[in-house]
Amino acid sequence: MIEAEVHYSLHNFLRSQDGIPSWPHHLTMARLVARALRLGRSALIQVGAACGYQGRYRLSYLAPALIWSEPVILVATESVQQRLREVEIPRLQQWLQVNKVIQTRDRLSSGDFQGLILTSPQAWLAAQLRHQGEFPPGVPTIIDGVDDLEDWTRTQLTLSIQPSDWDELTLACPEQIEAIRDARVQLTQVLFQHPANPYECYLLSLLEQEILRHLYAILQQQQVAIRVGEARHNHEPQLPQTWTNFWQRFQMDQLLWATINRRQGSFSLYCAPIEVASTLAPIWSRQPVVLIGSALDQDAEAPIFRQSVGLSDLTKSPQAPPIHGEVPVTCLKFSADRHSELIQLYVPDKLPLPNTPQFQAAFIEKVHLLISWSATALGLTVILVGDMPLKSQVGAILAAEFGSRVQVEKACLDDNGILVSGWEFWRQYQSLLPAPQLLVIATLPLPSLENPLVAGRVAYYKKMRQDWFRLYLLPTAMNELARAIAPVRDAQGVVALLDSRVLHRSYGFQVLAALSPLARINYLEPNFFSQSNESNDLIG
């Protein structure tokens, strides 16, 4: 069987790679992927945040994909594809002595092709959503990095109306110029009454939605024009495709918002699905898929993640007969290596809660103390602050004390630099920066209800009578947190979590579990960092 061949070949390859850090679960994962290819059974694999950050697991799916005699589609970001093409695939192919054709493209048109197709998430999702045969059904598909699958899909389905689209609509419907202009003016007046917010976006109010519906009704009406004394036949204006697509989505249960350019006096409209599970669900039955992520869910069966992306429910008894259309999925979650991935987690006991007036001053004082005491340990210090005004204040205060060492969301840093960053910037650049020896986290990355897009999704969960905190806010925060601290595990550094809600809220134990393995400390001494740097001993 292919499982035995993959196990033998990969085992010998790994033994030949002297000096290259290995991953203890390579052979287990490789056998599971090989089994999925042979049986056509889908699988969901969680490799762990640290392993996901380093990408060590990729040999585990490349080996069976290269040995498998039939075509395989591999969906990965362009940066991952580049690494695979230039490093991983050539050395593995040379060892395995296989000549499987490797191509990068956005479709599989030839039924005779037996190689490995590399494609981007955007191209693969676009083809699956069109369902026009770019990728024939039944071809095994491996998707790497499904932590971002929901965001990829929502981005793919997001439609927009830009300022230039209004001009195009006017040219397409010259008889309705006045109605189009009035609607645009009304929207401008109403939208610009929204007070500025740090997120620079605004959910469309009922009034703003009604203005759009009224315009659409006018454009749909039959019109009578008189030209040279003769009555023209009634006709319906031919709307530009951008507007047609937007109107179709607008009628559905969607997230509707606007962004405003106050300097230019213009606005843009956006429409995106609140949930993507119903859109993704039909895709999984078209071909066997191997979904690979880092920290998808606390549970090995990943019920919350599977619900969010439309995978089948595995809560029923294994002996129960399958439901028509249901996709059987094998779920596996690898445990972290306690020796190589253990972090020191500092959680002080008596810090004010983040939603209190005392928090900001206490947080800045604690950050100053941590940086001062960590000066004996050379290395990067990262301070993650989700609140935008607080991020700027922290950057300014620390720059006044520590000078040019401090940078706010800049990737050019000294070896002993201090980076003040939001979560999004850190996620984007953490793989390009050295592993921090100290990572300070201001608050848990729970999506803020002050963000209009978050508030819109929460309103949908409430409307559906679902637990919006357990199904949306908390899983999002734990995934973000696990991925953010992954580089610290390489250096076995210190993570300072200054959000005391982990100690005083019922969900705190779940957050700590997501950060495991860890050695928790609740106090620091002036020589703590120097001792840690010299001996690398962990205290608890």
What CATH number corresponds to the domain at position 80? 3.40.50
Query: Residues 425, 507: one domain?
Result: yes
- Interatomic CA distance for residues 30 and 47, integer angstroms: 12
Residue 319 lies in a domain: yes
Query: Residues 329, 462: one domain?
Result: no
Query: Residues 493, 360: one domain?
Result: yes
The pLDDT, as a whole number, for residue 535 is 43
Residue 231 lies in a domain: no
Residue 456 lies in a domain: yes
Residues 6+ apart with CB under 8 A from 142: 33, 61, 65, 72, 73, 74, 75, 289, 290, 292
Domain extent, residue 167, equals 159-224+236-273
Query: Residues 243, 296: one domain?
Result: no
> DSSP letters of 298-313?
SSTT-HHHHHHHTPPP
Walking along the chain (540 residues) 10 residues at a time, the average pLDDT comes out as 94 84 89 96 94 90 96 96 94 91 85 88 94 88 96 96 96 92 96 91 96 93 42 58 93 92 94 95 95 93 95 51 63 88 90 93 93 82 92 93 92 89 94 92 95 95 95 95 91 91 94 90 73 47
Q: Could you tell me whether strands 202-203 and 254-261 are parallel, antiparallel, or unpaired per DSSP bridges?
A: antiparallel
Query: Residues 295, 381: one domain?
Result: no
- Interatomic CA distance for residues 523 and 507, integer angstroms: 23
Query: Residues 293, 328: one domain?
Result: yes
Query: Residues 184, 140: one domain?
Result: no
Residue 384 lies in a domain: yes
Query: Residues 320, 367: one domain?
Result: no
The residue from 287, 310, 333 where one domain ends is: 333
Determine the residue type at 181. Answer: R
Query: Residues 318, 349: one domain?
Result: no
Query: Residues 471, 482: one domain?
Result: yes
- Interatomic CA distance for residues 518 and 345, integer angstroms: 6
Q: Could you tell me whether strands 381-384 and 438-441 are parallel, antiparallel, or unpaired per DSSP bridges?
A: parallel
Residue 280 lies in a domain: yes
The pLDDT, as a whole number, for residue 341 is 86
- Residue holding tokens 């592993």? 435
The Cβ of residue 162 has, within 10 Å, a number of other Cβ atoms equal to 14
Determine the residue type at 508. Answer: G
Residue 60 lies in a domain: yes
Question: For residue 218, which of 245, 164, 178, 273 has the smallest C-alpha distance?
Answer: 178
The residue from 333, 358, 374 where one domain ends is: 333
Residue 264 lies in a domain: yes
Number of domains in the chain: 3
Query: Residues 206, 322: one domain?
Result: no
Contacts by 192-200 with C-beta closer than 8 Å and gap 24+?
192/260, 192/262, 192/265, 192/267, 194/260, 196/262, 197/450, 197/452, 198/388, 198/389, 198/450, 199/450, 199/451, 199/452, 199/453, 200/259, 200/260
3-state secondary structure of 237: coil
Query: Residues 143, 209: one domain?
Result: no
CATH number of the structural domain spanning residue 530? 3.40.50.300
- Interatomic CA distance for residues 407 and 396, integer angstroms: 9
Residue 230 lies in a domain: no
